[in-house]
Amino acid sequence: MSYSLAKVDQIIDGYGADKEALVQILLDIQHEFRWLSREILLHTADRLGLPMNQLYNVTTFYKHFSLVPQGRHAVSVCVGTACHVRGATQLLNRVSQGLKLSPDETSADEKFSLKTVSCLGCCALGPVMVVDGKYMSNPTANEITEIAEECE
Amino acid sequence: MSQLSMTINGQQVQVTEGMTILEASREAGIYIPTLCHNENLESYGSCRICVVEIGEGERKKIVASCLYNVSEGLVVETETEKINNYRRIILNLLMHRWDKIPVELLERYGAKRDDRFVDNMTYCILCGLCVRFCREIKGANVLGFIGRGTIRQVVIFPNQAAKYCANSCPHEMECLDYCPTGVISSSYYGSRPADGQPLPHAHPICINEDINILEILERVGNV
Amino acid sequence: MMARLTSVSALEVLIKDILSRRDPQKTKVSVCSGTGCRAYDSEKVIDSLKAQLLHDGLNEKVEVVTTGCHGFCELGPVMVIYPDHTSYFKIKTEDVGDIISETLAQGKLVDRLLYVDQEGNVQAKEDDIPFYKYQNRVVFGNNQLIDPENIEDYLALDGYQALATCLGSLSPEEVLEIVKKANLRGRGGGGFPAGQKWEATRNAPGDVKYVIVNADEGDPGAYMDRSILEGNPHSVLEGMLIGAYAIGAHKGFIYIRQEYPLAVEHLNRAIEQMLELGLLGENILGTGFNFEISVHRGAGAFVSGESSALMSSIEGKVGEPRPKYIRTSISGVHGCPSDLNNVETWANVPVIINKGVDWFTSIGTEGSKGTKIFSLVGKVNNTGLVEVPMGMSLQDIIFKIGGGIPNGKKFKAVQTGGPSGGVIPEEMLDLPVDFDALDKVGSMMGSGGMIVMDEDTCMVDVAKYFLEFLADESCGKCVPCREGITQMLHILKMVCAGEGQPGDLELLEEVAAMTKDCSLCALGQSAPNPVLSSLRYFHAEYEAHVNEKCCPAHVCKDLITYHIDPAKCKGCGKCLRNCPVNAISGEKKEPHDIDLEKCTKCDTCFLVCPPKFRAVTKLSGNETLPVSDV
């Protein structure tokens, strides 16, 4: 594994290896590596003196954590209420078809991860798709394919 | 601890401060059903079958008796029409996870299978008794919860089991006695499911390197 | 680096100094860079504006302020030019040249960027635009005057004056009394009086006490708290300090969703500036009051917004509600008395101290004082954040401020309170919006989501939508919530799929009642509200689904079929070319036809059929195409 446990240690030390900072530490690790490997979880449990069942409990409870590698490009479709009444279900279907991915899935080549989110705070654009931080209002099937092709 | 006076089902009872309604009722010989309660463990309040009505008139409310502490003058009803109806619905719902709920309990509240509900026959009602026993009494953390919401799940951590089970529970797996549904089978502890073997249908499931925790969550979600 | 302030008077000197350096007549361009406007590329507009001003040598004369959300998200990016209050909308980088050469250089208006109302009247000034005119932006109004990363902007608008007043000349008891008298009720949902909560925490036994800002805004379709934190973080922090002083707390937590990166960034920056100025830390303003803040990011769990679950999260555990019947004001974080208030509640505190109880209580209704910010979204013309006095009618909010329903459609319902709230039908549009009135009709104030629905919205589908959300977000601990939601959702799915049976609606009501009464926490107790309220007001729509297998709003996919009305179809071929499964056939200029066997009901033909024809029709149940047209 190429993950640098030294980086993980640095993050843990930044919080004084405080057990109570578990969620904050995991958020930073997730941000750094885009997912939480078993190796990293074991190491974190060891460093914080926490049992693994607590780490698995926390990492499968909060939606932001991923236990599998994430794609290089994050695609989110907002399914908040405002977007829902404006046709988010149909948009999600189009994105799903266009990327050939189900929600919460990552493509085999680790190019895309598709997620649904609840309200991004730009309801005027709804229904919204976000690709790597770029917002798009109700893209058509063709526009989705174009975006997918633009991504490396 | 001072003595308090309260009323349960119209009967005046003397109880000790700090008791829960459940404890007070049981001491007075009044039956309240429970599924997630064990007197050796901290109250958990997940099955809600122990709900009772407290207060009078407009101010009546429903509380979980395993968690609500007694107080001077408290008025409790343990089997009103409303409460019995709620217990029936709770049992109806649970029957779709565990179809061996004791018949006496079902009959007492008139619970029966409702074909409009979807089955998710995991045989685990997520009462957490095994998880809590392992943590609170044994400090072993061999068992744990994963996931949330409708895909919440009890799992066993085999590495932890290998390290702790033999020492913590030298005679036998004592958590078995705590499981009300009997779903925990001792065979999960001794050895991991061999490669290529299907996972046991009933839960809990072992977590090890060969099994992707997300697949388990997904599988449970799709039941 | 600013010098640390060691007394209340030093703060006053600093504020005077800031004001003396500011010319109120100077041209100031405020451009929204909140999340909504950013999505419309407002940052590029700002960059281009700054670059061209520099190029034209106007950068000294004109000040550009990058602000948080102004509220009128529908027409973003939004710009206001002071001192004239000229408002421009939907600005693109191409417009920047004209804004500079016409407006900033010569004081002329750029007509194409001005607001035009539905009657075609042009309004140049912000205050004349109906969207703003009927609002009362007590908390939110300063957003557009403040660069959230610059504490001086906040100080220039009486910032930290309220804190200085409290620390310098009021006892904690007096502060508590003010907040109690103001009857400030919690803006996060329940509407519990903040003063009572403060008092309970203050009086609870224990030396260590905490105050907490709940910024775990999880209601899908609401973003008020985010916009306050992004746009005016100091207003929340000042409120929190005042609360801490009244309660006797020396440590505070801010629990904020990690999905709000910009808000986290602005909050952290604001805290740094407070530390620099001595507004945090030891001996604040030389008054002997100590306070520290720690920011906790939430990792994505709606249930963490529940107070006891939030406190578990702060302790690094899963955000599961605690089962005990003990208020968190008695036993919260680490078992210490902890006062939790929502972002908007905290932001109201400095305003109350500065403007007084009488002023505050003059706004609103008998039981609900002050204003409330709503996120007015869905099928409404003017999507955005609106702050109105409590008691304004739904009618006024949706039609006067919101500009009504787009595309000439008919209003059907408005949903308030998010997944814990309910739907309110047309007959109740006169309802004055306050905590108690909304409760009475089976909905709730919630944090302030207000989702407008038109005739094309299916209420059964909406109920199903909220249950799907809750099935995912329930912590799964207690049976009523976990199993109740699972089975209610299952029944609704059957109903929407045309597999509903007689008795399903009664069964839904039965399970809903149990879940409401028996669940462990507020999430479960309120989870049935979207189902119960829609059953109450839209029973006929449910019955149509169950008995006639008909979705009157033409939303439930399994209950509708797509047809082309031969009387209306001109054979333009647009639907034929766009159909992804080649289900449409027909000769050019001849009416087309859909093969229902092949049709996947993807809605594409309906969307692409030119509005002047409207030939694609959805039918459900026993509906048929109009006879005369066939």
Tens-digit pLDDT profile for residues B10-24: 999 999 999 999 999
Q: Do A123 and C223 touch (CB under 8 A)?
A: yes
Q: Would you call C379 an interface residue with chain A, using a CB distance cutoff of 8 Å?
A: yes
| Inter-residue contact B69 to B18 (CB < 8 Å) | yes
Q: Quote the pLDDT of residue C315.
A: 93
| Residue numbers of B between 159 and 178 with CB closer than 8 Å to A | 159-160
Give the pLDDT confidence of B197-207 residue by residue, as tens digits: 333 333 445 44
Q: Is the pLDDT score of C612 beyond 50?
A: yes
Q: Do A60 and B146 touch (CB under 8 A)?
A: yes
Chain C residues whose CB is inside 8 A of the B101 CB are: none
The number of CA neighbours under 13 Å toward the Cβ of B103 is: 0
Q: Quote the pLDDT of residue B197.
A: 34
Residue C279 CB partners (closer than 8 Å, separation 6+) = C5, C160, C163, C241, C285
Q: Would you call B123 an interface residue with chain C, using a CB distance cutoff of 8 Å?
A: no
Min Cα–Cα distance to chain C from B191, Å: 29
Q: Is the pLDDT score of A45 beyond 50?
A: yes
Q: Is the pLDDT score of B218 beyond 60?
A: no
Mutate: best of A50, A85, A115, A135, partner C, most C CBs <10 A:
A85
Count how many residues are written for chain A.
152
Candidate from C35, C469, C475 with C-beta closest to A121: C35
| Element containing residue C569 per DSSP (H, E) | none
Give the pLDDT confidence of C132-175 residue by residue, as tens digits: 999 999 999 999 999 999 999 999 999 999 999 999 999 999 99
Q: What is the DSSP string of A101-125?
A: --TTEE-TTS-EEEEEES--S-GGG
Identify which of B110, B79, B77, B76 has the alpha carbon closest to the alpha carbon of residue B95. B110
Chain C residues whose CB is inside 8 A of the A94 CB are: 602
Q: What is the DSSP string of C580-630?
A: TT--EE--TTS--EE-TTT----SHHHHHS-TTT--EEEEETT----GGG-
Q: Quote the pLDDT of residue B190.
A: 38
The C-alpha atoms of residue C342 and residue C344 are separated, in whole angstroms, by 6
Chain B residues whose CB is inside 8 A of the A57 CB are: 144-146
Nearest CA in chain A to B142: A53
Q: What is the DSSP string of C72-130?
A: -GGG-S-EEEETTTEEE-S--GGGHHHIIIIIIHH----GGGSEE-TTS-EE-BGGGSH
Q: Do C319 and A121 touch (CB under 8 A)?
A: no
Min Cα–Cα distance to chain B from C187, Å: 25
Chain A residues whose CB is inside 8 A of the B141 CB are: 51-54
Q: Is the pLDDT score of B159 beyond 90?
A: no
Q: Would you call B147 an interface residue with chain C, using a CB distance cutoff of 8 Å?
A: yes
Chain C residues whose CB is inside 8 A of the B217 CB are: none
Residue C175 CB partners (closer than 8 Å, separation 6+) = C166, C242, C245, C246, C353
Q: Do A53 and B212 touch (CB under 8 A)?
A: no
The number of CA neighbours under 13 Å toward the Cβ of A24 is: 22
Chain C residues whose CB is inside 8 A of the B43 CB are: 323
Extents of the domains making up chain A: 5-61, 73-150
| Residue whose token pair is 């207003």 | C235
Q: Do C518 and B147 touch (CB under 8 A)?
A: no
* Domains of chain B by start residue, with CATH: 3-79 (3.10.20.740), 82-121 (no CATH), 129-221 (no CATH)
What is the fold of A73-150?
Glutaredoxin (3.40.30)
Q: Do C383 and A82 touch (CB under 8 A)?
A: yes
Structure ipTM: 0.92
Chain C residues whose CB is inside 8 A of the B126 CB are: 476-477, 482
Side chain identity at residue B95, one-letter code: M
For chain C, give the percent of residues with pLDDT over 70: 99
Q: Is the pLDDT score of C469 beyond 60?
A: yes
Chain A residues whose CB is inside 8 A of the C34 CB are: 121
What does the mean pLDDT of chain C come to? Answer: 94
Chain C residues whose CB is inside 8 A of the A80 CB are: 220-221
Chain B residues whose CB is inside 8 A of the C511 CB are: 89, 93
Q: Tokens representing C411? A: 């209003």
Q: Would you call B63 an interface residue with chain C, using a CB distance cutoff of 8 Å?
A: yes
Q: Tokens representing C550? A: 């008909």
| Res. C600 pLDDT band, cuts 50 70 90 | confident
| Res. A111 pLDDT band, cuts 50 70 90 | very high
* Chains with 3 or more CB pairs under 8 A to chain A: B, C
Averaged over A22-36, what is the pLDDT? 94
Q: Quote the pLDDT of residue C628.
A: 52
| Element containing residue C17 per DSSP (H, E) | helix C8-20
**CA distances (Å), origin C271, targets C74, C288, C417:** 31, 19, 31
Give the pLDDT confidence of C64-109 residue by residue, as tens digits: 999 999 999 999 999 999 999 999 999 999 999 999 999 999 999 9
Identify which of C198, C411, C277 has the alpha carbon closest to the alpha carbon of residue C8. C277
Min Cα–Cα distance to chain B from C302, Å: 11
Mutate: best of B46, B120, B151, partner C, most C CBs <10 A:
B46
Mutate: best of A19, A46, A52, A60, partner B, most B CBs <10 A:
A60
Nearest CA in chain C to B222: C486
Count contacts between A and B (CB, < 8 Å). 41
Q: Do B152 and C477 touch (CB under 8 A)?
A: yes
The C-alpha atoms of residue C452 and residue C433 are separated, in whole angstroms, by 15
Q: Would you call B217 an interface residue with chain C, using a CB distance cutoff of 8 Å?
A: no
| Res. B3 pLDDT band, cuts 50 70 90 | very high
Candidate from A38, A53, A67 with C-beta closest to B144: A53
Q: Would you call B222 an interface residue with chain C, using a CB distance cutoff of 8 Å?
A: no
| Residue numbers of C between 411 and 470 with CB closer than 8 Å to A | 415, 418, 449, 451, 453, 457, 462, 465-466, 469
Q: What is the pTM (predicted TM-score) of this model?
A: 0.92
Q: Report residue A111: phi and psi, to 5°.
A: -85, -50
Chain B residues whose CB is inside 8 A of the A51 CB are: 141, 144, 160
Side chain identity at residue C76, one-letter code: G
Min Cα–Cα distance to chain B from C303, Å: 10
Nearest CA in chain A to B140: A51
More confident of the two residues C162 and B98: C162
**Cis peptide bond prior to A127, omega within 30° of 0:** yes
| Element containing residue C491 per DSSP (H, E) | helix C479-496
Q: Would you call B33 an interface residue with chain A, using a CB distance cutoff of 8 Å?
A: no
Q: Would you call B155 an interface residue with chain A, using a CB distance cutoff of 8 Å?
A: yes
Residue B1 CB partners (closer than 8 Å, separation 6+) = B16, B17, B18
* Domains of chain C by start residue, with CATH: 26-82+86-124 (3.40.30.10), 151-359 (3.40.50.11540), 371-454 (3.10.20.600), 459-547 (1.20.1440.230), 559-629 (3.30.70.20)
Mutate: best of B80, B117, B124, partner C, most C CBs <10 A:
B117
Chain A residues whose CB is inside 8 A of the B142 CB are: 53
Least confident interval from B120-124, C27-31, C404-408, C607-611: B120-124
The number of CA neighbours under 13 Å toward the Cβ of A123 is: 36
Averaged over C215-233, what is the pLDDT? 92
Give the pLDDT confidence of C293-315 residue by residue, as tens digits: 999 999 988 888 889 999 999 99
Q: What is the DSSP string of chain B?
A: --EEEEEETTEEEEEETT-BHHHHHHHTT-----SS--TTS-----S-TTEEEES-GGG-EEEETTTPBP-TT-EEESS-HHHHHHHHHHHHHHTTT-TT--HHHHHHHT----TTSPP---S-----HHHHIIIIIT----EEEES-GGG-EEEE-HHHHHHHHHHHSSSS-THHHH-SS----THHHHSPPPTTPPPPSSSPEE--TTS-HHHHHHHHHT-
Min Cα–Cα distance to chain A from B97, Å: 21
